[in-house]
Copies of this chain bind each other. A is one copy, B any other.
Amino acid sequence: MQSETIENYLKTIYHLSGGNGTIVNNKQLADKLNVIPATVTEAVKKLHDLKFVIYEKSYGTRLTALGSKTALSIVRRHRIWETYLANELGFGWDEVHEIAEELEHIKNDKLIRKLSEKLGNPSFDPHGDPIPDEKGKIQKSNFIKLSEAKVKYNCKIMGVTDHSTAFLKYLEKHELIIGASISIKIIEEFDNSIVLVCQKKEVSISPKAAESIIVEAL
């Protein structure tokens, strides 16, 4: 259908615009795609002709409905593959992104459907990021990194993004298990460490650890 380059542009515009139709500029795109702005100018003109974006000279670019739909299907493929690589083939979460960057360009709906089925048609990947469905619909959630939670938040632990044994042991020690409810008591001013209550016990979490814990804000 379209080239890998076009797919990468659409995906990047989608991510930079934060999923809503926000305008994206050439500099941002150039930086993300590792090309110079002149190259982006050329590219967005073509994307405009192909009806994937609306490009207004010296102003910016935003996805059309078609562009958005296409971007969503790429994001879907990417996240399905990431989840598959991690859950079915035993890759670490640090490894899957790079491989999925290549796999996402294989356009075969049946393949993605089969992978998705094998995973139980998940709506979220283990990063907590939503996986668009076949129609491009995204299930909303309040998934955030624990490091983004504020005082008094009540949350539920949904997953982790660091799968090192060191980290998993750290979690175990503090009885922080998937599904557990926690509430944020204090966020220390000077080092951003988080004091929270989990399983009736008070624990203090380093900001580094909080970066790798995905919670649902309730």
Contact = CB atoms under 8 A, between A and B. Distances in A.
Interface residues of A, number: 15
B102 A89 contact: no
Contacts of A91: 110, 114
A103 to B, nearest CB: 6
A90 interface: yes
A112 to B, nearest CB: 11
A100 to B, nearest CB: 10
A142 interface: no
Interface in A90-129: 90-91, 95, 99, 102-103, 106, 108, 110-111, 114-115, 118
B108 A99 contact: yes
Contacts of A114: 89-91
Given A99-B106, A103-B103, 10 more contacts: A85-B111, A89-B111, A89-B115, A89-B118, A90-B114, A91-B114, A95-B110, A99-B108, A102-B106, A102-B108
